[in-house]
């Protein structure tokens, strides 16, 4: 058949171009222009790899800011198994999870009667969300300040320093990087 | 609805139009071989490839030969993807040491990537070696998109030519679409994405030591790897305390770029574009959304140019844009409403300057409601299927939007190539209905639409709904189909309906609670994807061949103009009518029933 040879040759050639040459070219250019980003925006503290700016970590100690709940298994913020809860809006399991998270937040900060920002009680899509909203950070500021013996103003200043606005003033949402904020808290001792 | 919601939507549409206009001209010139890129030094490389392959680029094919070449090439691609997955354990570039993918999952994935669906039953970071991701999956991201572009240009030629026996040369169309369109755009986008933080390397995963420890329960296993059970038969667990966190690595950016530009949608990671390593910033999110609809929008302009009347392209684009805006606003509105069940619990869901509010389950903080709902609309308007938020956790009406967009046949911009050829089929249907109403033989662009053409149109329009509705019914009737459902009630039905809609329309997004990596779903959805793709492409090529052979009729006073507002409305009417008549009963059982139950409490 006259169609077999073109099919085989073009498939092989285009596979080499798009499957080998293309990713190699992107790697070479990407690594040359943006080496830190291409390797995962890693954070090294005292010579130890402590994480990535882009990948959230689980914080359950009330002395730290807590991030989004994470639905990854078997442990939260498992970088090897990203994903969300996929619970539907009417699923009783979702309501139960939200109630449990509210209870844990209230138990860690009994004096705080304000409504809980929605992000602190809902699991992120990736299970690795590195951010919370400024509202969710402010909600936790007094607790963190009290337990660390820092002034609330100092903690709020740290939040403000780690708040990113909408990109270009327009895109996405304002947010606070939880890992970066908590590392700054540890350094503020 | 916040002001920012309108601002983000307006910015998106404005940038899309600005970028699509010049690309449309370029596409038309490249595919016709007029562009200086084709006649210049790069073209020498292309011609060298043809010599090796024994292809005469000047020799065109009739529609049957074109379809045969296309089917043969895609079959070859499917076999290669299947083989590579089965053999990856013995092949290099496998730093995680993954074994062979199971036969049913490999079958599903092979069809999925060849058919431009990129439905993923597997989790990328724990299944596929770097070699498989690059050489099998990323390659098909290019080739399946190029196949779509080839088909739509064959159809455009059918409309533009008269008295012609051929519709183009598949090998040339495929090669040009890959080399001159998809490849340069992907290179550019990939590098920009790396700058935003998307990883791009060939390393194994990194292990970080986290700031605080994490405790979790791990099932106890005996020496043979079986779970240890207590007296009551429950699996026993042990508490593990760890500071280790895996930071996955790999050639992500290169795959991410073509995943969007080719409306493929298959993520490197399980969480797809919700993963911060795939989509780290609001800007990367905007670029990804633009990349999804860029070529589909540009093809409208290329179409207008090739048929010699740019207004024809504008009319099709206008119909698409109007539908898109309505769906986008509906999705944003529904998600911003939040979850009524949480109001009594003391949860603050109000949108404000310092939080997005709304239904944030399954959504990322950096995207909030607007960029998540907009992404969901974009990805299902196209045949992309990438997600930056979990559609399964959308509100009932918010989840209805992506589902119905897919069911409309993904003609609102649609997939690369497939969107426009789908919409042109609806244009034929619209002029046919209009012709019946006024009692004239229907014409489109001077071509008389006759019985053979309408039979093919009917085939195209009936193929996917048959697969979706019969497939859903089958899955719900048998135990292996029902076993995969995660959520109770109407939402569980929606999960199955969504899966079949996504597969048959070659989208690839999911209500991901459904456990679809089972032999039953892998085979059912694999078949739905194959026939949803090629049972549409072959009749479309038949229409192309039939139209190319016809003479062009002169425009008379009785000709229905197909570039004005009246035609735009007719076209929207045809799309919505077919979509509503086919799917409203099924949608009433799923998202509509769920919405009523949720808000009645």
Tell me the pLDDT tens digit for each residue of B3-18: 899 999 999 999 999 9
Q: Are the Cβ atoms of B246 and A77 closer than 8 angstroms?
A: no
The ipTM, to two decimals, is 0.96
User: How many Å apart are CA B420 and CA B152, to the nearest integer?
Assistant: 7
Which chain B residue's Cα is nearest to A64? B212
Task: Flag whether pLDDT at B46 surpasses 70.
Answer: yes
CB atoms within 10 A of CB A156: 15
Task: Flag whether pLDDT at B524 surpasses 70.
Answer: yes
User: How many Å apart are CA B136 and CA B85, to the nearest integer?
Assistant: 8
Percent residues over pLDDT 70 in chain A: 99
Whose CA is closest to B18, among B290, B271, B233, B213? B290
Mutate which: A54, A94, A166, A187, vs B, most B CBs within 10 A: A54
Give me the pLDDT at residue B460, please: 95
> Which chain B residues are closer than 8 Å to A140 by Cβ?
none
Going residue by residue through chain A, which has 189 residues, state the pLDDT in tens, using 9 for 90 and above.
689 999 999 999 999 999 999 999 999 999 999 999 999 999 999 899 999 999 999 999 999 999 999 999 889 999 989 999 999 999 999 999 999 999 999 999 999 999 999 999 999 999 999 999 999 999 999 999 999 999 999 999 999 999 999 988 889 999 999 999 999 999 986
A151 to chain B, minimum CA–CA distance in Å? 22
Which residue in the set A50, A52, A127 is minimally distant from B209, CB to CB?
A50
B430 to chain A, minimum CA–CA distance in Å? 37
Which residue in the set A74, A99, A129 is minimally distant from B218, CB to CB?
A74
Q: Are the Cβ atoms of A115 and B348 closer than 8 angstroms?
A: yes
Task: Give tens-digit pLDDT for B533-563.
Answer: 999 999 999 999 999 999 998 888 878 889 9
* Residue B13 phi, psi dihedral angles, 5° rounding: -65, -35
What is the layout of strands, in order, in the sheet containing A163-164? A131-132, A175-177, A163-164
How is residue B505 written in tokens? 């329309």
Q: How many residues does chain B have?
A: 601
Give me the pLDDT at residue B512, please: 87
User: How many Å apart are CA B76 and CA B70, to the nearest integer?
Assistant: 10
Mutate which: B143, B215, B354, vs A, most A CBs within 10 A: B354
Region B354-382: what's the mean pLDDT? 96
Give me the pLDDT at residue B283, please: 96
Q: Are the Cβ atoms of A124 and B348 closer than 8 angstroms?
A: no
Mutate which: B361, B399, B593, vs A, most A CBs within 10 A: B361
H or E stretch at A50:
strand A48-52
* Residue B273 phi, psi dihedral angles, 5° rounding: -75, 5
Q: Are the Cβ atoms of A22 and B396 closer than 8 angstroms?
A: no
B residues 347-386 near A, CB within 8 Å?
Answer: 347-349, 352-368, 370-372
Whose CA is closest to B349, among A117, A164, A17? A117
Give me the pLDDT at residue A1, please: 60
How is residue B38 written in tokens? 């084709």
Q: Categorize the per-residue pLDDT at B601 as very low, low, confident or very high, splitting at 50, 70 and 90.
A: low
Count CA atoms within 13 Å of residue A175 on its CB side.
Answer: 28
Q: What is the mean pLDDT of chain B?
A: 93
Whose CA is closest to B367, among B236, B260, B275, B492? B275
B residues 236-275 near A, CB within 8 Å?
Answer: 240, 242, 245-249, 251, 253-255, 257-258, 269-271, 274-275
Give me the pLDDT at residue A189, please: 65
* Residue B96 phi, psi dihedral angles, 5° rounding: -85, -5
Q: SS3 letters for B465-497?
A: HHHHHHHHHHHHHCHHHHHCCCCCCHHHHHHHH
Interface residue B187 vs chain A (CB under 8 A): yes
Give me the pLDDT at residue B223, please: 75
Give exposure, B172-188, as e/b (b: 16+ Cβ within 10 Å): bbbbbbbbbbbbebbbe
Whose CA is closest to A115, among A135, A85, A90? A135
Confirm if A159 and A144 have CB atoms less than 8 A apart: no
Task: Give tens-digit pLDDT for A116-161.
Answer: 999 999 999 999 999 999 999 999 999 999 999 999 999 999 999 9
Helical axes B282-306 vs B3-31, angle rounded to 10°: 40
B580 to chain A, minimum CA–CA distance in Å? 24
Q: Categorize the per-residue pLDDT at B40 as very low, low, confident or very high, splitting at 50, 70 and 90.
A: confident
DSSP state of B324: H
DSSP B171-213: HHHHHHIIIIIIHHHHHHHHHHHHHHT--B--PPPEEEEEEEE
Interface residue B52 vs chain A (CB under 8 A): yes
Residue B237 or residue B61, greater confidence: B61
User: How many Å apart are CA B527 and CA A85, to the nearest integer?
Assistant: 28
> Which chain A residues are closer than 8 Å to B49 by Cβ?
9-10, 13
Give me the pLDDT at residue B578, please: 93
Which residue in the set B171, B247, B368 is minimally distant from A173, CB to CB?
B368
Task: Flag whether pLDDT at B379 surpasses 70.
Answer: yes
Radius of gyration for the alpha carbons in chain B, expressed in angstroms and rounded: 24
B residues 9-28 near A, CB within 8 Å?
Answer: 11
> Which chain B residues are closer than 8 Å to A2 by Cβ?
54
Interface residue B6 vs chain A (CB under 8 A): no
Q: Which residue has the tokens 């860029």?
A: B294
* Single pTM value for the model: 0.95
Q: Which residue has the tokens 């012609």?
A: B164
User: How many Å apart are CA A2 and CA B481, to the nearest integer?
Assistant: 43
B residues 404-463 near A, CB within 8 Å?
Answer: none
Residue B232 or residue B27, greater confidence: B27
Task: Flag whether pLDDT at B413 surpasses 80.
Answer: yes
B residues 522-581 near A, CB within 8 Å?
Answer: none
Which chain A residue's Cα is nearest to B343? A115
Task: Give tens-digit pLDDT for B488-506.
Answer: 888 999 999 999 999 999 9
B524 to chain A, minimum CA–CA distance in Å? 22
Q: How many CB pairs under 8 A join A and B?
A: 400
How is residue B261 written in tokens? 């530009």
Give me the pLDDT at residue B109, please: 95
User: How many Å apart are CA B16 and CA B11, to the nearest integer?
Assistant: 8
Task: Give tens-digit pLDDT for B195-231.
Answer: 999 999 998 889 999 999 998 888 887 777 777 888 7
Q: Which residue has the tokens 């078949």?
A: B527
Region B225-250: what's the mean pLDDT? 86
How is residue B245 written in tokens? 């966190």
Q: SS3 letters for B271-291?
A: CHHHCCCCCCCHHHHHHHHHH
Q: Are the Cβ atoms of B348 and A132 closer than 8 angstroms?
A: no
Interface residue B189 vs chain A (CB under 8 A): no
């Amino acid at each position: 058949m006259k169609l077999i040879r073109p099919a085989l040759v073009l498939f092989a050639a285009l596979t080499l171009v798009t499957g080998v040459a293309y990713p190699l070219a992107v790697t070479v250019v990407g690594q040359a222009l943006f080496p830190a980003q291409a390797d995962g925006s890693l954070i090294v503290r005292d010579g130890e790899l402590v994480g990535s700016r882009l990948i959230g970590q689980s914080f359950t100690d009330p002395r730290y800011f807590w991030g989004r709940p994470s639905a990854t298994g078997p442990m939260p913020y498992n970088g090897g198994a990203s994903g969300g809860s996929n619970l539907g809006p009417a699923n009783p399991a979702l309501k139960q999870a939200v109630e449990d998270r509210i209870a844990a937040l209230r138990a860690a900060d009994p004096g705080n009667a304000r409504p809980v920002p929605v992000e602190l009680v809902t699991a992120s899509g990736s299970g690795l969300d590195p951010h919370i909203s400024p509202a969710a950070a402010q909600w936790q500021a007094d607790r963190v300040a009290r337990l660390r013996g820092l002034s609330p103003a100092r903690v709020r200043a740290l939040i403000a320093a780690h708040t990113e606005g909408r990109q270009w003033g327009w895109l996405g949402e304002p947010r606070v990087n939880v890992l970066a904020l908590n590392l700054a808290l540890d350094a503020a001792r | 609805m916040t002001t920012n919601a309108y601002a983000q939507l307006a910015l998106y549409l404005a940038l899309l139009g600005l970028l699509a206009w010049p690309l449309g001209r370029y596409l038309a010139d490249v595919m016709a071989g007029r562009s200086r890129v084709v006649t210049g030094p790069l073209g020498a490389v292309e011609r060298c490839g043809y010599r090796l392959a024994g292809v005469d680029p000047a020799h065109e094919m009739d529609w049957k030969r074109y379809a045969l070449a296309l089917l043969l090439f895609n079959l070859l691609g499917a076999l290669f993807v299947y083989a590579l997955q089965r053999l990856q354990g013995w092949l290099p570039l496998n730093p995680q040491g993954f074994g062979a993918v199971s036969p049913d999952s490999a079958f599903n994935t092979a069809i999925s990537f060849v058919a431009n669906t990129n439905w993923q039953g597997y989790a990328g970071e724990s299944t596929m070696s770097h070699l498989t991701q690059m050489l099998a999956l990323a390659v098909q991201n290019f080739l399946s998109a190029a196949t779509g572009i080839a088909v739509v240009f064959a159809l455009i030629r059918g409309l533009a030519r008269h008295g012609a026996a051929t519709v183009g040369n598949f090998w040339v169309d495929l090669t040009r679409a890959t080399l001159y369109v998809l490849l340069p755009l992907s290179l550019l986008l990939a590098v920009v994405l790396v700058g935003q933080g998307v990883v791009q390397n060939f390393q194994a995963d990194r292990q970080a030591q986290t700031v605080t420890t994490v405790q979790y329960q791990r099932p106890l296993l005996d020496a043979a790897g079986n779970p240890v059970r207590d007296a009551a038969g429950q699996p026993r667990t042990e508490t593990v305390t760890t500071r280790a966190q895996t930071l996955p690595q790999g050639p992500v950016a290169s795959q991410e770029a073509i995943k969007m530009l080719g409306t493929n949608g298959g993520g490197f990671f399980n969480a797809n574009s919700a993963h911060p390593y795939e989509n780290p910033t609001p800007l990367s999110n905007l670029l990804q959304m633009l990349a999804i609809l860029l070529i589909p929008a540009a093809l409208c302009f290329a179409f207008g140019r090739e048929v010699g009347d740019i207004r024809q392209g504008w009319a099709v684009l206008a119909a698409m844009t109007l539908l898109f805006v309505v769906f986008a606003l509906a999705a944003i509105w529904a998600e911003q409403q939040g979850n009524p069940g949480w109001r009594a619990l003391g949860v603050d869901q109000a949108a404000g300057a310092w939080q997005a509010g709304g239904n944030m389950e399954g959504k990322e903080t950096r995207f909030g409601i607007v960029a998540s709902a907009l992404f969901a609309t974009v990805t299902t308007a196209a045949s992309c299927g990438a997600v930056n938020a979990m559609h399964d956790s959308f509100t009932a009406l918010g989840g209805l939007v992506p589902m119905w967009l897919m069911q409309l046949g993904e003609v609102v911009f649609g997939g690369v190539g497939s969107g426009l050829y789908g919409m042109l089929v609806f244009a034929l249907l619209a002029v046919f209905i209009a012709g019946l109403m006024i009692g004239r033989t229907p014409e489109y662009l001077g071509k008389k639409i006759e019985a053979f053409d309408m039979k093919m149109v009917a085939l195209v329009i009936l193929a996917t709904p048959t697969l979706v509705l019969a497939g859903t019914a089958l899955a719900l009737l048998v135990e292996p189909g029902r076993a995969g459902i995660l959520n109770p009630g109407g939402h569980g039905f929606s999960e199955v309906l969504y899966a079949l809609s996504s597969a048959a329309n070659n989208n690839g997004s999911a209500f991901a609670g459904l456990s679809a990596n089972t032999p039953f779903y892998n085979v059912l959805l694999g078949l739905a994807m194959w026939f949803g793709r090629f049972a549409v492409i072959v009749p479309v090529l038949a229409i192309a061949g039939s139209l190319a052979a016809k003479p062009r009729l002169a425009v008379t006073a009785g000709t229905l103009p197909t570039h004005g507002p009246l035609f735009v409305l007719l076209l929207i009417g045809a799309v919505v009518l077919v979509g509503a008549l086919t799917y409203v009963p099924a949608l009433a059982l799923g998202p509509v029933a769920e919405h009523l139950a949720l808000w009645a409490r």
